[in-house]
Every structure is written in C-alpha cells, then in structure tokens.
Amino acid sequence: MTTERETILIVDDTPENLDILVGILKNGYRLKVTTDGQSALELATAAAPDLVLLDIMMPEMDGFEVCRRLKAKRGTGDVPVIFVSALDRVEDKILAFTKGGVDYVTKPFQPEVVRARVETHLRVRRLQKEQERYSRELESRAEAQVKEIAAGQFATIFALSKLAESRDDDTGKHLERVQAFCSLLATALRDDSGFSDQIDDEFIENIQHASPLHDIGKVAIPDRILLKPSKLTSDEFEVMKTHSTHGTRTLEAVASQYPNNAFVDMGIEIAHSHHERWDGRGYPQGLNGEAIPLSARIVCLADIYDALRSRRCYKEAFSHAKARGIIEEQNGQALDPHIVPTFHRLEGDFRSVWDRMPG
C-alpha cells in the first residue's frame, strides 16, 4: 500500500467538468487541474503525475495531441491517460485506445465509475512500477529467478481483465471461477492419453492466468449493447461478436512488445477462439473440431458452465443439474466431446468452486 497520495492531472476546458471531477476525487488523491493542453504538458513535464484524466475536445490542442506528446516524452511516456468525453460511439472509444489511452469515461460522469476506473489504473501502475523495480533488482541473477516477475505480469493483466468485466454488474467473481474451472479441466486432461502430449505444467499455469483474458475485448462494446437487459437484435449481436477480434488485436499489440511470451500467446488464442464451436457454427472464423485451439475449447466449457449458473439481467441462475444437462446437450455441438466427459468426472469440484465463489 502506498503511503503518499498519488497525483492526478485533470485537463478539461470546461470549468464545470473540472469542478465535478475534483469533487469526485479530492478525498483520495493529490489533484492538479488545468483547462488547456499546453499548460497540461508543462505541468506533466515539471512533475510527472501518476495518472491523467484528459478531455478530448479542447481548442488549440485536442486531447489526442496532448496524449501523443505525453507518450513521446521520456518522463511521461508511461503515465496512464484516461480520456473523458461526451462522445460515446464505439469508433471514438477505439480511436482513443489507438491514440494511447488506457481507458475512456463518458460524460455525464458517474462518480462510482470514475473512482473505480481511476483506482484500477493506479493499481495497475503500482504493479508496473513494482515489476520494473523487481526487473532491475533481478537483472544480474540467474534466469530461474525471473519467474518472480511473472506474478506482477499476471496481476496486471488480471486487473485489466477485471476492468473490462466491471462494466457488467452481474458477473461478480466470473473471472476467478473461470480460472478455477480451467485449472481443474486442464489438470485432469493432462492425465488423459488423448491430451498428454499437449498439456504439461506450463500449459496448466498459462491457462490459469490467460483464461481471464477471454472477454477483454468487451471494453470496446458500447454499454447500450453490453448492458442491454433484453435480447439483442441481430445487428447488436454482430457488434457484440466483435469483442473477440477487439481482444485479439489488443493482445497482439502486447505480444509485439513482448514476443515469445507463451502466456500472452495463449491469451490471444483464447480471446479469439473461445466462441468457436466444435460443430463449426461459432465465431469469428467458424473453426471446427481440433482446428480450435485446445486452450479455447477448455475456456469455452468453463465459460458456458459459469454463464449458465450465473444470474444475468436477461435470465435467472440455473441449478447445477440444469447446467449439467445443457452441457451434455452441447456435447459434440458447441463443446469438445473429448472434454465433456472430464467435466462430468469433475462435477463435484465444479460445484465446490461455485459454492466457494457464488455468482
């Protein structure tokens, strides 16, 4: 836990918006405020903040240009930028991420959302700083000790995954349960002669840490679709389906910076293919059978079971018995017929995980 209050730089050309954000955040952080991009750059250069809340539409220098200049400077390049804007189109949000933002908060501001987003990204930054400190300390040590860094990486990615999940109030401990289900399945499948050549200890560790990435692309899906309490229209469902490709592109960008990372590579497989179906009627590619990566086939079953057991705005929670029956119905259709029997052997463990972390 930090002992010194973290500094947030708030940039908005509308004084009323500054007053609102200051009111939301004044009790937890040290705040600096300004109404234009040039003075924001000067303040950040003089003393780098821990996080920037940055309006997009400003005269003379818009938020995108301010962000570009911050990212180009050595002292501020790693400072997380959360864009704030009245623009709510998915295209605007995607553009903000491509310009270097880590998040996007729409106006009018919801105090709980602003505080949650700010704290999540500050927590990620603390983890990154801690990871960097560990990296410097361990640079001269043997390669075996480098695994100490991995805990920070996993925690950082998990925090980002929780951020994507946090927009849906119904999901609760979904990511933690999916992690546990995947670990159970992979461990049991390792002892199956049909999978022993594909699953080892590294695979099990990677799927436990990579499985929370399956829906990270939902951060790009508009609230009106993601949180809709009724059935999606066909057009809305097509937009929802794009979360797999959004997530894939995000993780591919990470992989380009950290190549040869098995954990990130598995995350890409999972994010892209966990909605594929064994019978070929899934998305985004319509893969079938063993053409679907094994990691995605495992996450598919874990995610379906958890979704069935969970309450959603459009459905009540199903009992274990009903979920079990639906999974059996999907054996050889949505689900790998070689994995479903393993689920049946592990039903008691699945129920224990649910009882320990109910939805």
Rg (CA), the chain: 22
| Confidence category of residue 14, pLDDT binned at 50, 70, 90 | very high
Report pLDDT for 223.
85
pLDDT digits (tens, 9 = 90+) for 210-264: 999 999 888 888 889 988 888 899 999 999 999 999 999 988 988 887 788 888 8
Q: Is the peptide bond before 337 cis (omega within 30 degrees of 0)?
A: no
The amino acid present at 103, given as its one-letter code, is: D
Give the residue from 123, 158, 184 where a domain finishes.
123
Q: Is the pLDDT of residue 148 over 70?
A: no
Say if residues 158 and 182 touch (Cβ distance below 8 Å).
Answer: no
Dihedral sign from CA coordinates of 271, 275, 276, 277:
positive
191 contacts 205 by C-beta, under 8 angstroms: no
Residue 334: exposed, middle, or buried by beta-carbon count in 10 A (0-12, 13-18, 19+)? buried
Burial (0-12, 13-18, 19+ Cβ within 10 Å), 255: middle
Q: Residues 86-95: pLDDT tens digits?
A: 988 889 899 9
**Which CATH number goes with the domain that contains 203?**
1.10.3210.10
C-beta of residue 165 within 8 angstroms of C-beta of residue 175? yes
Q: Across all residues in the chain, what is the average pLDDT?
A: 89
Answer yes or no: is pLDDT of 75 > 60.
yes
Taking residues 62-89, report their average pLDDT: 93
Number of domains into which the chain is organized: 2
Q: Are residues 185 and 79 in the same domain?
A: no
Same domain, 192 and 336: yes
Are the C-beta atoms of 47 and 66 separated by less than 8 Å?
Answer: no
Pairwise CA distance, residues 13 & 57, whole Å: 8
List, in sequence order, the alpha helices (H) in the chain.
15-25, 37-46, 63-72, 90-98, 111-138, 147-165, 174-190, 201-210, 223-226, 234-241, 243-257, 262-273, 294-309, 320-329, 340-345, 347-356
Mean pLDDT across 22-30: 93
Q: Model pTM greater than 0.85?
A: no
Confidence of residue 4 (pLDDT cuts 50, 70, 90): confident
Average pLDDT over residues 162-182: 74
Averaged pLDDT, 62-66: 94
Inside any domain, residue 140 = no
Residues 232, 290 within the same domain? yes
Please tell me the predicted confidence (pLDDT) of residue 260. 82
Give 141 or 352, the one with higher predicted confidence.
352
Residue 82 burial (CB count, 10 A)? 21
Domain identity same for 224 and 303: yes
Whether 44 maps to a domain, the answer reads yes
Range of 32's domain? Answer: 7-123
Q: Residue 170: its pLDDT value, please?
A: 52
Q: What is the pLDDT of residue 282?
A: 97
CA distances from 323 to 281, 300, 335, 341 (A): 21, 14, 13, 14
**CATH code of 117's domain:** 3.40.50.2300
pLDDT of the residue at 131: 84
- Whether 283 has a pLDDT exceeding 80, the answer reads yes
**How confident is residue 149, by pLDDT bands cut at 50, 70 and 90?**
very low
Question: Residue 345 — pLDDT band, cuts 50, 70, 90?
Answer: very high
> Which tens digits make up the pLDDT trace of 98-114?
999 999 999 999 999 99
CA distance 125 to 138: 20
pLDDT tens across 118-147, in order?
999 999 999 888 888 877 776 656 454 444
Write b or e for each residue in 41-60: b if 16 or more Cβ atoms lie within 10 A of its Cβ, otherwise e. Answer: bebbeeebbbbbbbbbebee
Residue 149 is assigned to a structural domain of this protein: no
Residue 290 falls within a domain, yes or no?
Answer: yes
- Paired with 53 in beta bridges are 10, 82
Whether residue 185 sits in one domain with residue 287: yes
